[in-house]
Amino acid sequence: MILVLDIGNTNIVLGVYENTRLVTSSRMATDRLKTADEYAMLIRDLFSYHGLDFTAIDGAAISCVVPPVIGTFEDLVRRYFHCEPVVVEPGIKTGIVIRYENPKEVGADRIVNAVAAYEKYGGPVIVVDFGTATTFCAISAAGEYLGGAIAPGIGISSEALFARAAKLPRVELVKPRSVIGRSTVASMQAGIIYGTVGLVDGIVKRMKLEMGGDARVVATGGFAPLIAEDSSEIDVLEPNLTLEGLRMIFEKNRPCP
């Protein structure tokens, strides 16, 4: 079985694959202070809960946008699973040509999403990832990563309102009944949720124009279900897109036994 790890600023999403089948997936908080041993115990407990054999892992792939944590997980994989992890970094085989001015600046998660979206849907395709930041990635019909846009995520926007406006409370990120809120909480929810919908649709429309026409739009990330149903531009919701991309990259770079 293969362990795939998408390490983000807020959460770590892990998945276990048996060939091409996703057996299970889980989330845990990203903690820069945790050791490899502490993370290993958390993962072992998750495996036990799902009835999986911790010792059955014989390969791993990692994407990480938190540099202090990547070494911790490389150490974890080597010590507990006795294999060399495939880490998404410059020089790895992806099948995607990166047209960024400096390819090393592209986040590992954005590359992984591009690989999965292009292999599953072809191009041109636009990926919108709703994480700590909301990212937009454009991939051409020829499989070229053209670039994209990065905006504050829904959680960041919500926390900024709470932190900087003395009379505004922290609110649950759920869709209100109406865009015209009749309470402070409902008004904040309407502004955050429907404001993000407008942001997404506006950026995607402009990206399509620059790409020369239409493109399939794929949404992923923790907040994607909250936005996708009200967006006029999102075509497909793929909750496990990043995990799929990691599995695909692992297969392209599978270490020798």
What is the per-residue pLDDT across 41-73, written as a single tens digit (0 to 9) for each? 999 999 999 999 998 999 999 999 999 999 999
Q: Is the predicted pLDDT of residue 165 greater than 90, yes or no?
A: no
User: For residue 176, is the peptide bond before it cis, meaning its omega torsion is within 30 degrees of 0?
Assistant: no
The CATH architecture one would assign to domain 2-87 is 2-Layer Sandwich (3.30)
In this prediction, residues 220-233 reach a mean pLDDT of: 93
Encode burial over 127-155: b for 16+ CB neighbours within 10 A, e otherwise.
bbbbbbbbbbbbbbeebbbbbbbebebbb
Q: Is the predicted pLDDT of residue 118 greater than 90, yes or no?
A: yes
* Extents of the domains making up the chain: 2-87, 97-244
What is the per-residue pLDDT across 2-22, written as a single tens digit (0 to 9) for each? 999 999 998 999 999 999 999
Query: Cβ–Cβ contacts within 10 Å for residue 169, how many?
Result: 10
CATH of domain 97-244: 3.30.420.40
Assigned token pair, 126: 């636009």
Residue bearing the bigger pLDDT, 156 or 200: 200
- Of these residues, 37, 109, 129, 214, which one is catalytic? 109
Assigned token pair, 135: 């990212």
Nearest to 238 by CA among 228, 251, 253, 246: 228
C-alpha pair distances (Å), 55 with each of 12, 112, 215: 21, 26, 42
Q: Is the predicted pLDDT of residue 256 greater than 90, yes or no?
A: no
Residue whose entry in the numeric block shows the structure tokens 């402070």:
184
DSSP 151: E
Beta-ladder partners of 71: none
In this prediction, residues 115-122 reach a mean pLDDT of: 96
pTM: 0.90
Beta-ladder partners of 18: 21
At 224 the pLDDT is: 94
First-residue to last-residue Cα distance in the chain: 14
Fold matches, 2-87 and 97-244: yes
pLDDT level of residue 90 (50, 70, 90 thresholds): confident
Catalytic (active site) residue 201:
no
Encode burial over 216-247: b for 16+ CB neighbours within 10 A, e otherwise.
bbbbbbbbbebbbebbebbbbebebbbbbbbb
The whole-chain average pLDDT of the chain stands at: 92
